[in-house]
Amino acid sequence: MIDPVLDQPDITRYDRGYTMLLNGSKAKGMPLISESAFAGQPHAISTLIWVNVVDGQIHEAIENYNKCSAPAIKWIDAESRRLASIRQLPAEGRNQMIDAYKYQISNFKSNAALAYLADHQEATALKMWAEAAKDHGHIESRFYPIFHQKKNDPAAVMKHLSENFHPEELKALITDLAEASKESTGWFKGWTVESLDLLRKVNQQAMTGTLAITGAWLASRAMRNYMEDQNEEAMDQAVDSFFSWMGDFFG
């Protein structure tokens, strides 16, 4: 039996396309994702723009952001009315779903901000990240600007991260950053590698004690091994070593 809550053509099409994408059938999955994105389905827009950025399709990412933003708002309004007509769906459940769709607006805005940064539109990118962080506390929108604004000051990066993020949040974010560096091409690959490298360059003035210095060195070595070997085992070692040290740094 089809769940009436999810019985919506744009959702169904996106789910099919996303499953194909995850299973390695990108050529078959992306047209379905794109069709749902152009119809305004928020998750599809987030995925489309993210794939654009990862693939180095910077102008396409900006174009798709501008093309899909207004349809997303209309789609959410229409979906809210459709969900309200489903009697067995409690108001609380409906509101949670709509909130999740609205969150995706901040998510695809954050993804698009990367493209604007790559297109040398720094002010626009920073404004978009600030809006996404303000509207939904979007975590990547709080995380990404740090590497751009403080790229020449590793100690300031670590100070900001330690004061504004929980270690578990950072572990997830940096793991995603390491994954993205492996999967991406073009500008975004260079940006992720540069960002990971910045995390290795925390100078000794920012650390206290032999344990912290040793931990940072181990983390640096593991990150370097990952960047050279590009394999899952090296990545896991890099992330674990880095956060073993970070736990001491955070106190």
CB 70 within 8 A of CB 37: no
Cα dist from 225 to 124, 163, 169, 239, whole Å: 35, 28, 23, 11
Given this model, what pLDDT does residue 251 score?
A: 42
The CATH number of residue 124's host domain is 1.25.40
Q: Domain containing 219: what range? A: 150-251
Same domain? For 166 and 63 the reply is no
CB-based contact 138:132 (threshold 8 Å): yes
What pLDDT sits at residue 150? 78
Task: Please indicate, yes or no, whether residues 77 and 155 belong to a single structural domain of this protein.
Answer: no
Distance CA 204, CA 214 (A): 10
Q: Are residues 29 and 113 in the same domain?
A: yes
Residue with tokens 């995390």: 199
What is the number of domains present in the chain? 2
Q: What are phi and psi of 248, to 5 degrees?
A: -70, -40
pTM comes to 0.82
Residue type, 18: Y
Q: What is the pLDDT of residue 197?
A: 78
Residues 10 and 126 placed together within one structural domain of the fold: yes
Same domain? 133 vs 17: yes
Residues 221, 185: contact at Cβ < 8 Å? no
Of 104, 123, 142, the residue at which a domain comes to its end is 142
Do 137 and 170 belong to one domain? no
At which of 142, 175, 193 does a domain end?
142
Note whether 79 and 136 are same-domain residues. yes
Contact 39, 53 (CB under 8 A): no
Compute the distance between CA of residue 155 and CA of residue 164 in angstroms, rounded to an integer. 14
CA dist 239 and 209 (Å) reads 21
Q: How many CA atoms lie within 13 A of 53 on its CB side?
A: 26
pLDDT at res. 240? 55
Q: Does 154 lie in the same domain as 137?
A: no
- Angle separating helix axes 26-39 and 42-54, nearest 10 degrees: 130
What single DSSP character describes residue 5?
T
Q: Tens-digit pLDDT profile for the chain (251 aa)?
A: 678 888 999 999 999 999 999 999 999 999 999 999 999 999 999 999 999 999 999 999 999 999 999 999 999 999 999 999 998 999 999 999 999 999 999 999 999 999 999 999 999 999 999 999 999 989 899 888 987 887 777 777 777 777 888 877 877 888 888 888 888 999 999 998 888 777 766 534 444 443 344 444 444 444 455 445 545 555 555 555 555 545 444 44
122, 142, 162: which is the final residue of a domain? 142
Task: Give the other-Cβ count within 10 Å of 137's Cβ.
Answer: 11
Work out the angle at residue 231's Cα, subtended by the Cα atoms of residues 217 and 216, and round it to the nearest 5 degrees.
10
Residues 39 and 67 in one domain: yes
Q: Are 64 and 52 in contact (CB under 8 A)?
A: yes
Q: What is the pLDDT of residue 115?
A: 98
221 and 200, same domain (yes or no): yes
Do 51 and 113 lie in one domain? The reply is: yes
Find tokens 């996404």 and name the residue. 132
If asked whether residues 19 and 76 sit together in one domain, one would say yes
